[in-house]
Structure 1
Amino acid sequence: MEQEVLTLPDEGDGVRVITCAGEFDLATQEPLRQVCDPALNDPAIQRIVLDVSRVTFADSSLLNTLLRLLRTGRLVLAGPLPRSLTRVLDPFRVRELFPTADSVKAARTL
């Protein structure tokens, strides 16, 4: 699957939804950073919902990006979390650190 990173249109509720699909490793992190950085720098954005349900591969570089977003206190992962991502989160025992919802709709209100 080809990588896809999309920012959905804002609904004026302070939530930025970013969808991710495909493979995320050191060489392919830039598109995700390019959409996350504006969200982090926008004071109107109170929550960043990252839909990771279609991530097919992830390595520690995606984990680093997620941890950076988590430190802002605004990140919610929308799933269900794919096995490709839990294989990165579980060895470091960090899955429980991430607020997670079963869908984008649920994550918007978490």
Structure 2
Amino acid sequence: MTGEDTDVGAVLPDAYGVRVIVCVGEFDADTVRPLDVAAHEALDDPGVRRLVLDVSTVTFADSSVLYVLLRTCRSGRLVLAGPVPSRLERLFDMTEVASLFTLVDGVEAARSL
């Protein structure tokens, strides 16, 4: 599942073992499933050594997306590319989980880790 548009936004072509999922719009209990599926497909792919979620255009996120991010983070291969929108940052602050994630400014910075 690379190089295609999805309900999450887009999954960019893999490059050097890095898959980028561009997250666009709102994520809640009704809309988070495509992100969950795309993230886990990436983690199940042995050619993917890092998963980058571009969260810069997320307009809303609730605990449903936080659950997906935390489960995905356990793999040790997740990087969140920002800038992190204020609503998502507020969710991270309220739940005190920001320190659990690798956060970088932009997709290219995430790819180069």
Query: Normalising TM by the smaller chain, what interval?
Result: over 0.9
Partner of 2:68: 65
Partner of 2:13: 9
1:39 aligns to what SS in structure 2? Answer: helix
Show structure 1 runs of 4+ deviating over 4 A. none
1:55 aligns to what SS in structure 2? Answer: strand
Q: Give the residue type in structure 1 aligned to 2:112.
A: T
8 Å CA contact 1:5–1:31 kept in 2: the answer is: no
Sequence identity, in percent?
55
Q: CA deviation at 1:34?
A: 2.3
Greater fraction helix: 1
Structure 2: tracts of 5 or more residues without a match: 1-6
Partner of 1:76: 79
8 Å CA contact 2:40–2:72 kept in 1: the answer is: no
8 Å CA contact 1:78–1:107 kept in 2: the answer is: yes
Q: Distance in 1 between matches of 2:8 and 2:19?
A: 16
Partner of 1:86: 89
Q: 1:70 to 1:4 in 2, by over 3 A?
A: closer
Partner of 1:30: 33
Partner of 1:55: 58
Q: Distance in 2 between matches of 1:96 and 1:37?
A: 22
Q: CA deviation at 1:31?
A: 1.3
8 Å CA contact 1:75–1:99 kept in 2: the answer is: yes
For the aligned residue pairs, the C-alpha RMSD in angstroms reads 1.1
Query: Paired residues, what number?
Result: 107
1:18 aligns with 2:17: no
TM-score by length of 1: 0.92
Structure 1: tracts of 5 or more residues without a match: none
